[in-house]
Structure 1
Amino acid sequence: MRVKDFIWLSGLLTVISLPLSAAENDWPVYGGDNLHQRHSKLTQINKSNVTGLIEAWEFDTGVNDTFQATPVVQDGVMYVSLPFNDVIALDAATGKQLWRYQHDLDKDYPICCGSANRGVAVSNGMVFTGTIDARLIALDAKTGKKRWDHRVIGENTGISEDASKLEDTELGSVSGTSGAGINMAPMIYQDTVIIGITGVGYGLHLDAVDSDSPLGTVVGIAGKYGRRGFMAGYDIHTGEQKWQFDTIKSENWEGNFVTKTADGVELPRNITNEKAALQENADAWRYGGASAWSTPVIDPYTGILHFGTGNPSPQMEGSSRPGDNLYSSSLLALDASSGDYRWHYQQVPHDLWGYDVASPPVLFDITIRGQPVPAIGQAGKTGWFYVHDRRNGNFLYKSEAFVPQKNMFSLPSAEGTIIYPGVMGGANWSPVSVDARRRLVFIPGIHWPVEYKLHQQAASEGKDAVRYSSMSPINTPEKHGLLTAIDLDSGKIVWQVKTENPLIGGVLSTASGLVFTGEGSGELMAFDADSGEKRWSGKTDAGVNAPPITYRIDGKQYIAVAVGGNRLFGFKTGQKIKVWRLP
């Protein structure tokens, strides 16, 4: 019997839930283990003693900006990518710096999406990192010296028009770029480094506010803006590209002009108008967007790679991109060795709301009609946790809504339509955690209403009339966060905890029954995995908006997190890595 045959049999529930033995003390990859469950088998810190946590060490990175990285810990060394792409190696027991790589940022390169980087990959004696100026870099894991440096894209083209037609609107002057960069942590598969680009889902922003901040206004206007995204594999030794999968189809990107989502929700589409506009916009796929925001997870038994894609371009305005806009706002599966297409599931065809598939997918197993099924789950910006058979993408179920929902999939209106979840989610880029033994997935959620408004600008001297839309998050006292435990087998909510601030950062769970997540107010919190009861919180001097991790050295268990806030969400930025342990 072949191994791949064996894993689909009754032993699947036990075999597939176990992390690799090397991961029991370390945090060796972005997702914690090879299923990206962000669940640790460590139990020294538990429900009865978590209140006794003390600071083990703190490291000041010297870079004060949005800090989203997941530290990687291997053999007692912690590797962390910083905002603007410096990388540091620290003694994970003491916080002593072992080396630092200082990134020479290309100042002429158009940066689209802020300074944040979400992590590194460590393998074959090297540390791999992607940069906001679209480079994939390999460093020596012992010294931090550069092994190779490869630009992943050529000239940053894709914009054939600019924002001048929207100068001096009722919203003020606007600007935008379509600079493509890298935010995600790479993944390693055999002798290949895999990474994707972001920033291609073109949107315009008001000049009057920080252009990285959704606290301002995002503007959608028809036109030929942006470029296609992609996921690609690179030789681990040289950095040369081995394969590339474009996240927008060059043929039949219009799809089937569906009027419902694949899970049955009606969409407000005028198919007649879209089909009439198809010929005039035959090359719209060239500007199609679909950023690769989330670090992929690779099934260790089949070699299939899974990741989510962003919204189509131009953002929110669909008249110049008729059709379903494949493969935007989708969960995609590729062969990790070749980049060949395996399957996709489009959560939102012809997306007009910025419902990127942003949170990284996670692998686990469920039982359906008495039979074990290898599954993949993804927490959507839409507020549902989607579950599929990961062998073929067959939709199995979506969970109960883990955030409030109102006017979803509604069109903008002249008076303004209040929708939620909106462009922030739902679940944003934050990774979930899965406790397979308890049969629970823990999701950090966001409730933040947005106003979706339609604008008509009359023709004036030298300018044509223009129609555009805007989406503005409402800074309302009702906005909050929700940490939700959902049953993996039924999709039912088991418990839910409301937090003062929208949850952006990520979740860690442990076998001792604790769930850790951070909040923009500056707290790292621990909750009871069985009840949701808050058991502990550790105060910091900036927002805790990165995913926490845990590891063990010399018999001591540590909890670590990057403390740097999130400029995009208005949470106080900082520059430290903070680590706790028991006395």
Structure 2
Amino acid sequence: MFRIKLALMTALLTWSTVSLAKDIEWPIYGGDIYHHRHSPAIQVDPVNVRALRPAWTFDSGISAAFQATPVVVDGVMYLSLPYNHVVALDATNGKQLWRYEHQLVADHQSCCGPANRGVAVADGKVFMGTIDARLIALDADDGSVIWDRDVVGENRGIQEETDGIGEQFGEATGTSGVGINMAPVIYDGKVIIGITGVGYGLHLDAPDADAPLGAVVGIAGEYGRMGFLAAFDMNNGKKVWQFDTIRHKNWQGEFTAVTEDGVNLPRDIATEKATLADHQDAWRYGGGSAWSTPVIDKHTGILHFGTGNPSPQMEGSSRPGDNLYTSSLLAVDASTGAYRWHYQQVPHDNWGYDVASPPVLFNITVNGQPVPAIGQAGKTGWFYVHDRRNGRFLYKSEAFVPQHNMFTLPTQDGNLLYPGVLGGANWSPVALDENKRRVYIAAVHWPVEYKLHERPAADGKPAQKYSSMAPVDAKQSYGLLTAINIDTGKIVWQHQSDNPLIGGVLSTEGGLVFTGEGKGELMAFDADNGEKLWAGKTQAGVNAPPITYQIDGKQYIAVAAGGNKLFGYPTGQKLQVWALP
């Protein structure tokens, strides 16, 4: 018996040593093919995490919104920088191996700032979508351009003049301007990516230069264009298929008044139907940006992704109907782009409730039967769960942020509601630990005022009504990191942070959960109870997803610290990396 116990102990020790010593990569945007952002690394744990120290820092030289997820393959870190520059770094010390400098097209107008959310690496190539709507393949060895494709051509949307509107809030910083923010995904020799900026709306600066977003404004009319997701041959960039995120026929849908998950929508269905004939071409400008990297079920070949709000944003009078497939979770065939199913979280969305956070795949048991599931953390403040084979709605979680006056329409006096256009869960990816049966969500609580306005007739221009959604005093905002049981939808624990959480989450087999704060720190929590165990200071806001990887027996934690002007967080230009001494 003693020999058997000794043998078992030796085997366990050997397994643990191998686990601690083997290299662990972060090969794709979501960490693994399921988008779990959960690493098997166990070297850093709740006992020793307080000993984390800076290992190395990379200075990008560009002080701007830095949202990228680094990719680590064969000891090399590939990192997209703001404005679509790319670097390859030695992942053990940050030494730059090569740098690609991107040249934006001369007439480019960005809708959403300089941020890029990452690259994809495969077959000796590095693939990146750009804010000027190009898809580029670089040589992974030296960063030279292999091919460069314009994804959208000349149709980049229709602009609306802002005279008389911006004066009430500040200068306009975003309109319709087609680009690409997501990291690509690779499948069966194809690079798959979607476009953003197609849902027309104005992002207006606050009068105070150091303050966050002043307002988002929606104006009725035929502005913007339809979005799409497309696949390109990874060898030459030739388009293989395209799926438009706007349904061409019957985009008005069924005029849904109550969603399958039980939300009553304040819609005047009779008026919408009466005005339908006047807006027959509204679908051509329908919006539906594709913000987040799709996840592909490798067993079925089905690709899942979320879509943005309809266009124009927050103003539904010129787009009667459900506006399919906007503000939806969609499934298409990854080989052909053929439609499989969709679930529209918010039909006829008037609140900017994009399906922005990337979906995640996992398995659950329903009525004693195993079910392949897909989950998505909504701007609405619920984690939605579906049968990923057919999109059947299974449940939504307890609300992970406070909810008040949701789905109410704007008034001239203004309605206070939350969550609003900022979320809930914004674009931040979740982390999911199937062993602990938990999903970890970083979210925003920031009340907004939803108002109706009228621009008076002047200079030959008619009077025009429009709506605005403006964040209230930042002192009323905060962040919530939430652990939710994926079998029941119940909240296990929550941690409230001083600032709204925007960036993303990492979990590890070592029992830790990491996320960043806009005031300038990366935080580590005990995965079991949410206790804050450690914080690493950064020189700017941490508003990007952290990752971890292991080389030569040493585990590293890395995150981009570039701040976020939209939320009023200090900007910077560094990637910071920590490890145990």
Is 1:279 the counterpart of 2:270? The answer is no
C-alpha deviation, 1:211, in angstroms? 11
Alignment partner of 2:347: what SS?
coil
Alignment partner of 1:275: what SS?
helix
Q: Deviations over 1:21-59 (max 9, x none)?
A: xx9700000000010100001100011111111111111
2:18 corresponding residue in structure 1: none
Alignment partners' CA distance in 2, 1:167 and 1:482: 33
Long gaps (5+) in structure 2:
1-21
Alignment partners' CA distance in 1, 2:23 and 2:385: 27
Distance 1:176 1:127, change over 3 A: closer
Q: Deviations over 1:328-363 (max 9, x none)?
A: 000000100000000000000000000000000000
1:197 corresponding residue in structure 2: 195
C-alpha deviation, 1:177, in angstroms? 2.9
Alignment partners' CA distance in 2, 1:173 and 1:69: 27
Q: Could you tell me whether the CA contact under 8 Å between 1:166 and 1:174 is conserved in 2? A: no
C-alpha deviation, 1:570, in angstroms? 1.1
Alignment partner of 2:573: what SS?
strand
The 10-residue stretch of structure 1 (205-214 or 102-111) with the greater mean CA deviation from structure 2 = 205-214
The 10-residue stretch of structure 1 (489-498 or 258-267) with the greater mean CA deviation from structure 2 = 258-267
Alignment partner of 2:483: what SS?
strand
Alignment partner of 1:184: what SS?
coil
C-alpha deviation, 1:168, in angstroms? 7.5
1:39 corresponding residue in structure 2: 38
Is 1:351 the counterpart of 2:329? The answer is no
Distance 1:147 1:451, change over 3 A: same
Q: Could you tell me whether the CA contact under 8 Å between 1:440 and 1:488 is conserved in 2? A: yes
Q: Could you tell me whether the CA contact under 8 Å between 1:62 and 1:575 is conserved in 2? A: yes
Alignment partner of 1:387: what SS?
strand
Q: Deviations over 1:206-254 (max 9, x none)?
A: 4665999962111111100000000000000000100000000111000
2:541 corresponding residue in structure 1: 543
Distance 1:356 1:211, change over 3 A: farther
Q: Could you tell me whether the CA contact under 8 Å between 1:262 and 1:346 is conserved in 2? A: no
User: How high is the TM-score relative to the length of structure 2?
Assistant: 0.94
Alignment partners' CA distance in 1, 2:212 and 2:248: 31
Matches within 5 A, 1:200-349: 200-206=198-204, 215-349=213-347
Distance 1:213 1:78, change over 3 A: farther
Alignment partners' CA distance in 2, 1:557 and 1:148: 35
Q: Could you tell me whether the CA contact under 8 Å between 1:156 and 1:179 is conserved in 2? A: no
C-alpha deviation, 1:467, in angstroms? 1.2
Alignment partners' CA distance in 1, 2:320 and 2:209: 28
Alignment partner of 2:60: what SS?
strand
Matches within 5 A, 1:77-156: 77-156=76-155
> How many matched pairs?
560
Q: Could you tell me whether the CA contact under 8 Å between 1:166 and 1:173 is conserved in 2? A: no
Q: Could you tell me whether the CA contact under 8 Å between 1:248 and 1:328 is conserved in 2? A: yes
Q: Deviations over 1:370-417 (max 9, x none)?
A: 111100000000000000000100000000000000000000011110
Query: 1:117 is matched by which residue type in structure 2?
Result: N
Q: Could you tell me whether the CA contact under 8 Å between 1:163 and 1:204 is conserved in 2? A: no
Distance 1:164 1:548, change over 3 A: closer
Give me the CA root mean square deviation.
Answer: 1.7
Query: 2:264 is matched by which residue type in structure 1?
Result: E
C-alpha deviation, 1:174, in angstroms? 5.5
Residue 366 (structure 1) aligned to one of 353, 364, 367: 364
1:6 corresponding residue in structure 2: none
Is 1:53 the counterpart of 2:45? The answer is no
Distance 1:517 1:172, change over 3 A: closer
Distance 1:389 1:353, change over 3 A: same
Matches within 5 A, 1:10-29: 25-29=24-28
Alignment partner of 2:439: what SS?
strand
Alignment partner of 1:274: what SS?
helix
Q: Deviations over 1:289-341 (max 9, x none)?
A: 00000100001111110000000000000000000000000000010000000
Alignment partners' CA distance in 1, 2:277 and 2:395: 37
Alignment partner of 1:354: what SS?
coil
Alignment partners' CA distance in 2, 1:172 and 1:184: 28
Query: 1:235 is matched by which residue type in structure 2?
Result: D
Query: 2:103 is matched by which residue type in structure 1?
Result: D
Residue 519 (structure 1) aligned to one of 513, 517, 520: 517
Q: Could you tell me whether the CA contact under 8 Å between 1:114 and 1:212 is conserved in 2? A: no
Alignment partner of 2:349: what SS?
coil
Alignment partners' CA distance in 1, 2:142 and 2:172: 45
Is 1:401 the counterpart of 2:399? The answer is yes
User: Percent identity between the aligned chains?
Assistant: 69
Alignment partners' CA distance in 2, 1:130 and 1:347: 27
2:470 corresponding residue in structure 1: 472
Is 1:455 the counterpart of 2:465? The answer is no
Q: Could you tell me whether the CA contact under 8 Å between 2:49 and 2:533 is conserved in 1? A: yes
Alignment partner of 2:461: what SS?
coil
Alignment partner of 1:216: what SS?
strand
Alignment partners' CA distance in 2, 1:515 and 1:564: 21
Matches within 5 A, 1:556-567: 556-567=554-565
2:69 corresponding residue in structure 1: 70
Alignment partner of 2:193: what SS?
strand
C-alpha deviation, 1:111, in angstroms? 1.4
C-alpha deviation, 1:262, in angstroms? 2.3
Alignment partner of 1:273: what SS?
helix
Query: 2:223 is matched by which residue type in structure 1?
Result: Y
Q: Deviations over 1:254-274 (max 9, x none)?
A: 000011122111100001110
Alignment partners' CA distance in 2, 1:209 and 1:168: 10
Alignment partners' CA distance in 2, 1:516 and 1:504: 13
Distance 1:451 1:164, change over 3 A: closer
Alignment partners' CA distance in 2, 1:205 and 1:61: 27
Alignment partners' CA distance in 1, 2:307 and 2:147: 28
C-alpha deviation, 1:175, in angstroms? 7.4
Q: Deviations over 1:189-215 (max 9, x none)?
A: 010000000001100244665999962
Q: Deviations over 1:481-531 (max 9, x none)?
A: 000000000000000000000000000000111000000011101000000
User: How high is the TM-score relative to the length of structure 1?
Assistant: 0.94
Query: 1:265 is matched by which residue type in structure 2?
Result: V
Alignment partner of 1:353: what SS?
coil
2:11 corresponding residue in structure 1: none
Residue 508 (structure 2) aligned to one of 510, 513, 517: 510
